[in-house]
Amino acid sequence: MDESMTSTTFALDGYRIVQSLGVVRGVTVRSRSLFGTIGAKLETMLGGHITMLTTLCDRARGEAFDILLAHAQHRGANAVVGIQYDATEIMAGVTEVLCYGTAVVVEPLDGEGESSL
């Protein structure tokens, strides 16, 4: 599924939702490496942008999003709407990242609002 077929809203411009397939999710649990922890602590002491943790968070969110898309495709969706993220620290240095939304089947609209499929 192409990322352009996803939205944080409950609609996709130019498309009509014809079927809702329910909630789909992507979950990943990540931990910092020893090197990452030491590097992040050094960056924290220096102040400013903490690039090591930003990279870790971005990677975890991307992984959860990719799992979400695979889950949606497996259910027969060609789009996902209402996408949101959540994160929970499970234990010190270990974080769960959840990406969830509603899997849907959409059809493109033509000028008269009819399906062009």
Is 79 within a domain?
A: yes
Is 67 within a domain?
A: yes
CA nearest neighbour of 61 among 96, 91, 9, 101: 96
When pLDDT is cut at 50, 70 and 90, the band that residue 116 belongs to is: very low
Is 112 within a domain?
A: no
Number of separate domains in the chain: 1
Q: What pLDDT shows up at residue 43?
A: 57
Average pLDDT over residues 61-74: 98
Is 55 within a domain?
A: yes
Is 72 within a domain?
A: yes
The CATH code of the domain that includes 86 is: 3.30.110.70
At residue 104, the 3 state secondary structure works out as: strand
Q: What pLDDT shows up at residue 19?
A: 98
pLDDT tens, residue by residue, 3-21: 999 999 999 999 999 999 9
Is 114 within a domain?
A: no
Domain that holds residue 102: 3-107
**DSSP assignment of 25-78:** EEEEEEE--HHHHHHHHHHHHH-S--HHHHHHHHHHHHHHHHHHHHHHHHTT-S
Q: What pLDDT shows up at residue 79?
A: 98
Q: Which amino acid is at 66?
A: D
Is 74 within a domain?
A: yes
Average pLDDT over residues 31-48: 61
Q: Which of 7-11, 38-42, 90-94 has the highest mean pLDDT?
A: 7-11
pTM value? 0.81
Is 115 within a domain?
A: no
